[in-house]
Amino acid sequence: MGRVFTAFDPEGKAVFINSDGVGTKTEFYERSGKHWLALYDSLAMNGTTASRTAARIMVTNDVVER
């Protein structure tokens, strides 16, 4: 196709990729009607890993099913 949809340039720096989630805890958020809180939980899960590796979070994303 010749089109670039996504481009990533780490500028010569090391890259650490982590994929973590909230697991079955989403059930509690769903039952309480506060499903958006799962996003905070997910960010905390990934942030904890970043802090243990002295990494700086540049991008975070989630897949949300409801």
- pLDDT > 70 in the chain, percent: 94
pLDDT at position 35 is 83
pLDDT at position 32 is 92
In a domain, 65, yes or no: no
In a domain, 66, yes or no: no
> Average of pLDDT values for 42-50?
85
Range of the domain at 7: 1-59
Cβ–Cβ < 8 Å for 46, 56? no
Number of domains in the chain: 1
Q: Residue 48: is its pLDDT beyond 70? A: yes
Q: Rounded to whole angstroms, how far apart are CA atoms 61 and 6?
A: 14
> Average of pLDDT values for 40-63?
84
Question: pLDDT for 5-37, tens place per residue?
Answer: 777 788 888 888 877 778 888 888 889 998 888
